[in-house]
Structure 1
Amino acid sequence: MKIISTRIPDVKLIEPKVFGDERGFFMETWNEKAFREAGINVAFVQDNHSRSVKNTLRGLHYQIKQPQGKLVRVTRGEVFDVAVDLRVGSSTFGQWVGEYLSGENNRMLWVPPGFAHGFLVTSDTADFQYKCTDFYSPEYERSIFWNDPSVNVDWGVSNPEELLLSNKDKHAQSLQQAMAELEGNSQIKPETSA
C-alpha cells in the first residue's frame, strides 16, 4: 500500500497494491498497522455506500460537533473528490485538494476530521464507499457552497446548470458565513501530531 501526502499534508492519497490474474483481483483496502505507521491512527465506527448518477455533486459537508474523518473510495465509476480544510488556525485553512477516484484506479483518499468533503460524479454512475471515524449527526451537519469563491474549488464544471444538487446543498452557506461557528468550535482543530 502506498500512502502519499497531498498538497495539504494531512490529506492522504492511498494507492493499494492490486493483485490480479485471469480470475479477477484482490486488494487490501484497510490495514490498521499500515495506516498507523503512516500517521493515520483512527478507529472507524460507520461504513457508508452511496450510488449517484453523472453530474451529481454532493457537498461540501462537515459536522461542527463529532467531526468525521473519512476514508473514501469508489468501487464503480469515477468521481472528483474534494477536501477543504476548515480547521481554524491551520496553515492550510480554506484551502482544498481534489483527486480523481475510480473503480479503475482503486485510489482512496483519507479526509481527516475538520475538513469539509464533497464529490462530483464524472461517470454515468458511481458507487462511493467510505468509512467514518464518528457517527453521522444531522443536527451538527453543515454545508458550504460547492462554488464558494473564497474556496475556489476547480471542479472542472463547464455547465453548472447540469449539476444535480440536494436542497441542502442548494441552500448551503459561504465559508465566511460559517466562520463564527467554526471559530468557536474546539472540536475542529489541526492535528497536533502526524
Structure 2
Amino acid sequence: MKVNEIQISGVKIITQNCYHDYRGYFVESYNQAQFDEYSNLKSSWLQDNLSYSKQGTLRGLHYQFPHAQAKLIQVVKGYIWDVVLDLRQDSPTFKQWQGFYLQDPLLNPNKQLELLYIPEGCAHGFLTISEDAIVHYKVAERYYPQEEQTLVFNDPDIAIEWPLHALPVDIPLILSEKDRQGKTFSQLPLF
C-alpha cells in the first residue's frame, strides 16, 4: 500500500498492490487495519455503493450537508475522470478543485489498483471516459436524501475543466435531471 497526498487538503491517492497471473488478477481493495496504519485515517465505513455508467455520463458534483460523507472511490471496470471540490471554508484549499484519471487495474499502466480518499466537506463527481464504467465507493456517513446537494457541473465560478475532448465526437454528455438542475457555488451551503 502506498499513500500519496495531493493538492486538495486531506485528499489522498492510495495504491494497492494487484497480483496478476494467467487467470487475471487479485487485489485486496480494502483492509481496515492496513488502511488505518498506512493512511493515518480512521474512517468508519457505513455503506458501500456501486454505480454503472455509460460513456459520456457525468455524475455530480454531489455532497451531503450537514452530515458530510468521507468517501473511498475505486474503479472496478473502465476509466473515469474524477473531480473533488473543497467546500471547507477553513481549509487552505477552499474552493479549489482537482481532477484525477482513475481506471481499473487492467487499464492502469502500473497494473495496480488506485483508490481516491475524499474527506468530509468535499463535493465529488466523475465523467465516464471508457465505453462504460463501474465505480465502487465506501461512505463514512449514512445517506440523508433531504441533505443531498448538487453543484452544477459547469458553474463558471468554479470552472472545472472536464475532459470532454476525451470522448468520441458522437458521444453526447449524459446528465441526470438532478445534475442538470444543480445549484451554483454561491447558492450552496458550505462547511
Shift of 1:15: 1.1
Unpaired runs of at least 5, structure 2 = none
Q: What is the letter of the counterpart of residue 181 of structure 2?
A: H
Deviation per residue, 1:101-138 (Å, 9 max, x gap): 11122211001111000000001110011001011111
**In the alignment, which residue of structure 2 is the partner of 1:112?**
119
Aligned twin of 2:83: 82
Conserved in 1, the CA contact under 8 Å of 2:9 and 2:93? no
1:12-161 matches, within 5 Å, as 12-37=12-37, 38-103=39-104, 104-105=107-108, 106-158=113-165
Unmatched tracts of structure 1, length 5 or more? 183-187, 189-194
Matched-pair identity in %: 40
**Which one is further off, 78-87 or 8-17?**
8-17
Cα displacement (A) at 1:46: 0.3
Deviation at 1:149, TM superposition (A): 1.7
- Residue aligned with 2:146, SS: helix
Query: Could you list the per-position Cα deviations for residues 72-103 of structure 1 after superposition, in whole angstroms to 9, with x for gaps in the alignment?
Result: 01111111011100011211111011111111
- Alignment TM-score, normalising by the size of structure 1: 0.88
Q: How far does residue 43 in structure 1 lie from its aligned partner after superposition?
A: 0.4
- The structural deviation recorded for 1:8 is 1.3
Question: How many residues in Structure 1 have an aligned counterpart in Structure 2?
Answer: 180
Distance in 1 separating the partners of 2:41 and 2:152 = 28
Cα deviation for residue 65 of structure 1 reads: 2.1
1:170 alignment counterpart: 180
Question: Aligned-residue CA RMSD in angstroms?
Answer: 1.5
Matched AA of 2:146 = E
Cα displacement (A) at 1:60 = 0.3
Q: Distance in 1 between matches of 2:5 and 2:35?
A: 13
**Superposed displacement of residue 27, structure 1:** 1.2
For residues 10 and 77 of structure 1, the distance between their equivalents in structure 2, rounded to whole angstroms, comes to 26
2 CA distance for matches of 1:176 and 1:65? 17
Query: What is the TM-score when the length of structure 2 is the normalising length?
Result: 0.89
Runs of 4+ in 1 over 2 A off after TM superposition: none
The residue type equivalent to 1:176 in the other structure is S
CA distance in 1, matches of 2:83, 2:134: 16
